[in-house]
Amino acid sequence: MQSFRKLLIAASLASALPAMAAETTLIKDVRVFDGQKVHAMRSVLLEGGRIANVDFKGKAPAGAKVVEGSGRTLMPGLIDSHTHSFQHLELPLVFGVTSELDMFTAVPLLQEMNGRMQRGENKDRPDIISAGILATVPGGHGTEYGMPIPTLSKPEEAQPWVDARIAEGSHFIKIVMEPGRTGHPVPSLERATVKALIAAAHKRGKLAVVHISNPEDARSALEEGADGLVHLFGGESIADADLKSFVKLAHDRKAFVIPTFSVLESVSGLKEKDVLEDKQMMALLTSDQIAPLNSPYGKKEMAQRLNATRSAVAALRTAGVPVLAGTDAGNGGTQAGASLHHELLSLTEAGLTPLEALRAATSVPAKAFRLADRGTIAKGAKADLVLVEGDPSRDITATRNIVEVWKDGATVSARRKAQQELVAKELNTPKGAPLALPADGMISMFSKDKLASPFGSGWVPSNDAFLGGKSTVNLEYAGENAVNVKASVQQGFAFPWAGIAFMPGSQPFQAANLSAAKTLRFRVKGDGQGYQVGIMHGSARIPVYQQFAAGADWQEVAMPMASFAGVDTSAITLIMFNAGPKIGDYQFQIADVRLTNQ
């Protein structure tokens, strides 16, 4: 499996098109949302990558490009206040997202982006203002992504840890309070260390924001002085007294909140149907980029889990607590750029007006994160702008009707056109013929000499060791096309696993077209514990899972490929049979693994 770190570095070096140069531009007779309010008709002049005049009168300057604004709205470039930037770095721009507040990325990408922005050479990507490495404990949330993470566990370690992040180029400090879920606890920072981290960040003039997933940690973070919460908690309900207390605390501490509906909905099994059903948005996404939107984390729709979130957002809004639009893009169920438009819709469904939702993606995050040069249409501000048909201050979905995007005064037209052409070409190019499956579907050819297969790179042990985990696995031939899998799943990686995997491509991790397969079948027996099949596809780095049990007697398991929601079966890279994430020793035998056409 390709490491997250290598993927980050490769992505940081990729750029499909040269950046367009900034030019003098007059956007004429246009409705203007300036980040706070709407002006019925103005003309806005852009010069040298900046906004030169927000209410230009008279004849257009010589040589200026004139863009007609009648019936359209000019807005500040959108800001996604919670992302994880590691691939598709240029994609957000085509959706009008010109700045991202990144909550965790690799240091090489952080430093490369800082350099691009400082040199004024970042016209082809959104600006990424990043926390860099997050603050977590050994084995805690954030350590599972395949790159070394400097962790801490004591208050006295906080100041050196914060100073090291600032030296690397972090713009703010992100702290993780994440105990995991029932049945899968995760080590988390203790409150005293969180307090010390917040104080250490403030001592250096940096914001301290906190990842939380429950009301208790949300309160603790605010009580210890956090500037903002980068998630809200879910839940089917929240008591009125608890809600009022939480909102009052956030208000009194002058904190901001980023609900991240997009990822919370994903965890609740909900897809961004409004995006998936929007033809103009789909025309800007390749099948590889659409796949995550079809792969929410939750396997069952449980919209009721968002009741507490929506109640909290409505109450925060009423109390005047700043609410910021952030998606947690980079996770299953989301896609960079596109998901922010869904987030805006979700905010309005939770009680914000369309105008308030627009502020949540422009001026409010700019103020919260001390970004004085963006999020507004004002003289001297960066010429990061979006022109749309219609009036999104009345209908929030009008943000999707993009006519043009400017980044540092340069148009993104060429980027948008290239993306549309790429998608159109993909749609019009017949996919390669599916691999011919064996007549009996058998893909396991296990013998005492070799764990072979009729095609692909074959079968290999699979565990979390390459991600810094400590899990181990031993494979032994068990006779009659069976292999015995002895796995020891150990603490050391946030989501530990160990098992056996099949790579169907002719090279390791190369995609294979298995669309002829309708069902994955195998025989299994074992120690009675629960296991999982995971399938990876395309460039996705998060497997889609289905559960199975291994009882004392042999049984056949049949899993329809369609049950692996969102998997592109024409581009499968890995099929895994894993123990974990529960810590412990496991033993199962697997035999007669088949991919059948029915």
Instruction: Give the model confidence (pLDDT) of 57-86 as tens digits.
Output: 999 999 999 999 999 999 999 999 999 988
Indicate the helix (H) or strand (E) that contains 257: strand 256-257
Q: What is the pLDDT of residue 9?
A: 35
Across the range 509-521, mean pLDDT stands at 93
Which residue in the block uniquely carries the two structure tokens 């005293």?
Answer: 192
Query: What gap in Å lies between CA 345 and CA 339, rounded to an integer?
Result: 10
Query: Which of 62-76, 493-507, 549-563 is least confident?
Result: 493-507
Do 356 and 317 form a contact (C-beta atoms < 8 A)?
yes
Q: What is the pLDDT of residue 432?
A: 75
Query: What gap in Å lies between CA 164 and CA 184, rounded to an integer?
Result: 31
What does pLDDT average to over the chain? 92
pLDDT at 325 over 90: yes
Across the range 490-519, mean pLDDT stands at 89
Q: What is the pLDDT of residue 4?
A: 36
In the chain the domains, ranked by start, together with CATH numbers, are 4-133+230-426 (no CATH), 445-596 (2.60.120.430)
What does residue 407 show for φ and ψ, rounded to 5 degrees?
-125, 115
What does residue 487 show for φ and ψ, rounded to 5 degrees?
-120, 140
Q: Among residues of the chain, what percentage have pLDDT more than 70?
A: 95
pLDDT in tens, 242-288: 999 999 999 999 999 999 999 999 999 999 999 999 999 999 999 88
Which residue in the block uniquely carries the two structure tokens 């946030």?
Answer: 494
3-class DSSP assignment, residue 397: helix
Query: What gap in Å lies between CA 110 and CA 102, rounded to an integer?
Result: 9
- State the number of CA atoms in the 13 A half-sphere of 444 facing the CB: 28
What does residue 385 show for φ and ψ, rounded to 5 degrees?
-140, 160
CA distances from 312 to 237, 302, 369, 421, 467 (A): 10, 18, 22, 42, 36
Taking each helix axis from N to C terminus, what angle separates 240-252 and 215-223, rounded to the nearest 10 degrees? 30
Closest to 543 in 3D by CA, of 328, 301, 292, 335 = 292
- Return the amino acid letter for 237: S
Q: What is the pLDDT of residue 108?
A: 87
Contacts of 145 (CB under 8 A, 6+ apart): 4, 5, 467
Band of pLDDT at residue 383, cut at 50, 70 and 90: very high
The model's pTM: 0.82
Query: What gap in Å lies between CA 371 and CA 303, rounded to an integer?
Result: 35
Burial per residue of 99-120, b for 16 or more beta-carbon CB atoms within 10 angstroms, e otherwise: bbbbbbbbbebbebbbebeeee
CA distances from 518 to 117, 431, 441, 590, 594 (A): 48, 17, 11, 20, 11
Which residue in the block uniquely carries the two structure tokens 């340069």?
Answer: 410
Query: What gap in Å lies between CA 547 and CA 528, rounded to an integer?
Result: 13
Band of pLDDT at residue 20, cut at 50, 70 and 90: low
Which residue in the block uniquely carries the two structure tokens 């290999």?
Answer: 460
pLDDT at 153 over 90: yes
Bridge partners of 376, per DSSP, are none
Across the range 190-205, mean pLDDT stands at 98
Do 358 and 392 form a contact (C-beta atoms < 8 A)?
yes
Contacts of 404 (CB under 8 A, 6+ apart): 67, 386, 387, 411, 412, 413
pLDDT at 429 over 80: no
pLDDT at 329 over 60: yes
Strands 50-53 and 472-479: unpaired
